[in-house]
Amino acid sequence: MQPIAIDPYDNTPRDVVVSAIDYPDGLYFAEHQHRRGQFAYAATGVISVFTAQGNWVVPPQRAIWVPAGVTHAMHMSGPVTMLNTYVRARAAKRLGLPEQCQVREVSELLRQLLLRAMHLPALYARDGVQGQLMNLLLHEVASMPALTLNAPLPNEPRLARVCRELLEQPSLELGIDAIAERAAMSRRTFTRLFRQHTGISFVEWRQQACLLAAVVRLGQGEAVTRVASDLGYSSPSAFSSVFRKVLGEAPSRYFARARV
């Protein structure tokens, strides 16, 4: 698959370039890839990213790192204001950025750097304040901690099929025995192969799939109580506890602040 020209900076002789663009709710980019790594910050709205290796969801005021050459699709639940940081592959390697997609925290310092950088010309001066700002931005991107907002897809065909089905209709109420039966496996074989192919247990994966769905729905304005109930959480407080563990605060407060 050839890279497509979603960003115009492939041949810009700078290690990093930042741009900002607004997308309408529901916009979908079909599978594509970039020659540069993409650090996509959702200033507003929710971004869903799909690859052959798994799904990721980016809530407001967080970002996703997509390495150069990784084929991916994107869906906007918004409206979305996205600040894109495009990083040369050699710079990404030098900074130790991962070779797989990863949702990351965004510090207040990084937010301010992004807001400053989006107003710089693509051919900013390497020397002086502009170059120093962009160099600091790169290092801050590389230092951001990862968030567990992804559901890895196994390579094993039977496991991949049932995982995709669960991503379409996620629920905590679907137990291991039921999903193993769908995969035509014994419970023991299913649990062993699932951890082998994903690196986590099915219970952990199911929790992740439900959290991804919840972030998208909450970003669209649905009530916490409705989302928690639909996904099979025992109570809104149980769901809020899981959400807070990953994103640092209760969902109602998080999305209220994200809309300010």
Residues 101-120: tens digit of each pLDDT = 999 999 999 999 999 999 99
Mean pLDDT computed over 168-196? 96
259 against 122, higher pLDDT: 122
So what's the pLDDT on residue 3? 42
Structure tokens at 227: 């989302």
User: What is the structure's pLDDT at 258?
Assistant: 73
Residue 146 near residue 97 (C-beta atoms within 8 A): no
Q: Residue 152 CB: number of other CB atoms within 10 A?
A: 18
Structure tokens at 260: 């300010």
Do 212 and 178 contact (CB within 8 A), yes or no?
A: no
Range in 28-42, 71-85, 246-260 with the lowest mean pLDDT? 246-260
Q: Using pLDDT thresholds of 50, 70 and 90, give the confidence band for residue 11.
A: confident
Q: Does the pLDDT value for residue 7 go beyond 80?
A: no
**Contact between 66 and 119 (Cβ < 8 Å):** no
Least confident of 178-187, 227-236, 246-255: 246-255
Name the strand (E) or helix (H) holding 28: strand 28-32
**What pLDDT digit, counting tens, does each position of 206-228 carry?**
999 999 999 999 999 999 999 99
**Predicted confidence band at 6 (pLDDT cuts at 50, 70, 90)?**
low
pLDDT at 4: 45
pLDDT at 1 over 50: no
pLDDT tens-digit series, residues 18-57? 999 999 999 999 999 999 999 999 999 999 999 999 999 9
What mean pLDDT is predicted for residues 160-168?
94
Task: Name the percent of the chain lying above pLDDT 90.
Answer: 91
The answer to whether the beta carbons of residues 210 and 171 sit under 8 Å apart is yes
Domains of the chain by residue range: 16-147, 153-258
Question: Domain 153-258 falls in which CATH fold?
Answer: Arc Repressor Mutant, subunit A (1.10.10)
State the average pLDDT over residues 130-158: 96
Q: What are phi and psi of 28, to 5 degrees?
A: -125, 125
Q: What is the pLDDT of residue 8?
A: 65
> Partners of 81 in the beta sheet?
22, 44
What does the mean pLDDT of the chain come to?
A: 93
Does the pLDDT value for residue 10 go beyond 90?
no
16-147 and 153-258, same CATH topology: no
Homologous superfamily of the 16-147 domain (CATH): Regulatory protein AraC (2.60.120.280)
Beta strands 37-51 and 54-58 are antiparallel
pLDDT value at 257 more than 80 = no
CB 44 within 8 A of CB 78: yes
CA distance 28 to 128: 39
Confidence of residue 78 (pLDDT cuts 50, 70, 90): confident
Residue range 49-73: average pLDDT?
95
Can you tell me the mean pLDDT for 61-89? 95
